[in-house]
Structure 1
Amino acid sequence: MAEQLSLLNPKKSNEPRIVYFDIETLRSAVEVGGWSNISKMGVACAVCYDSIEDKYFEYVESQVPDLLVKLSEADLIVGYNIIRFDYVVLQGYSKVDFSRNQSFDILVDVTRILGHRLKLDSIVQATLGVGKTGDGLQSLQWVKEGRFDLISEYCKKDVELTRDLFLFGLQNKYIYYQNYGEKIKIPVEWSLQQLIK
């Protein structure tokens, strides 16, 4: 099936297919018995942005197999906290070994550089001048209200911010974060040649 999809969507020249990705869950850590049970949280919504097709793809829980196909087509998957969260959520649906995918988790790199974790909102506000439109707790409230349209919109915005942040760092070799009102520069060494092997 993935081969058929690749024939329908050929790459533009030799550009790598970068898929930016985020998941919003159906259940909180409390509802599944703690953070050690992330794989039980379930997918409320997942959004991918495909750099070759230049468009967003939205998925609900019943479409997780299609999401896995989209991720398998990527030369590089980029996200924020995807390794310790999003991929673990997907393990509840499939035993796909995501270590086989070329992945770049911005949070992992920022944590490596600074020695501590940062929220995506702190980085995108300082770097891009735009904040997130909500948070995970708001998304969980929307699940309870059946407002999957709002969850999808929120998830899509997170993917857009992640993409724009990655492209900024790729081009400028730095990003910023807010620390008690102060804008602090983080030097980054992001290079597609190093990230895609």
Structure 2
Amino acid sequence: MLNEIVIDIETQNTFLDVGQGNHDKLKVSLVCVYNYADDKFSAFKEAELINLWPLLEKADRIIGYNSRYFDLPVLNNYYPGDLNKFPQLDMLEEIKKVLGFRLKLNDLAKATLGLAKSGNGLEAVDWFKKGEWEKIEKYCLDDVKITRNLYEYGKNNKQLFYPDLQSQTKRPFPVNFSVPESLAGSNAVNLTLPF
């Protein structure tokens, strides 16, 4: 069985605080993952990230939503290598290739799964500032569950849905979340240390 990890991060600050595109100035508050290998959800605070690295290094593929352009670049502030070199499926990237535009995770979840997110990233930053860890963890884990469920739906049905605001309907579009042959049974250990 393929060892895949679904990931989502929350931050202590926002691009409004540090300037657009300054991933190197964003700080992690919490990282949540779902590990297919043991069918478990886990959460890691900033001080616990050292415990996350072995999971990612042993993953055959990392799955996220905007992970290539947000989650992994922010995590690279803490990791000695380059997490973006690890095999990954950024679902938003794949969706943009098909549709030509980006979709919010919440819109995709509502149209495909009939589920809504339990909050947003700005609320999570506010919760961090107030020390409300339970709220951050619930929100982050909910996002991981939604991402996992969308991944599985797309992988099994070869399509997802998005809301068409003009016609007030939902429209299907094709996706290919299948595992590349190069990853099948790879038993990967991903290391990208800079030496």
Q: TM-score, normalised by structure 2?
A: 0.89
1:142 equivalent in structure 2:
127
CA contact (8 A) 1:49 1:57 kept: yes
Q: CA offsets, 1:57-84, max 9 Å, x none?
A: 1100001121122111111110000000
Q: How far apart in 2 are the matches of 1:98 and 1:44?
A: 18
| Greater RCO structure (CA 8 Å; 6+ sep) | 2
1:189 maps onto 2:176 in alignment: yes
5+ unaligned residues in a row in structure 2: which ranges? 185-195
CA contact (8 A) 2:89 2:177 kept: no
Shift of residue 195, structure 1, vs aligned partner: 7.4
1:27 maps onto 2:13 in alignment: yes
Give secondary structure in 1 for the equivalent of 2:33: strand
- Runs ≥4 residues deviating over 4 A: none
Paired positions, count: 182
**Which protein is richer in helix relative to its size?**
1
What one-letter code is carried by the residue in structure 2 that aligns with 1:116?
A: F
CA contact (8 A) 1:38 1:89 kept: yes
Identity, in percent, stands at 34
Shift of residue 112, structure 1, vs aligned partner: 0.7
1:16 equivalent in structure 2:
2
Shift of residue 196, structure 1, vs aligned partner: 2.6
CA contact (8 A) 2:65 2:90 kept: yes
CA contact (8 A) 1:76 1:195 kept: no
5+ unaligned residues in a row in structure 1: which ranges? 1-14
Q: Where do 1:36-51 residues align within 5 Å? A: 36-51=21-36
Q: How far apart in 1 are the matches of 2:169 and 2:50?
A: 43
Shift of residue 95, structure 1, vs aligned partner: 3.5
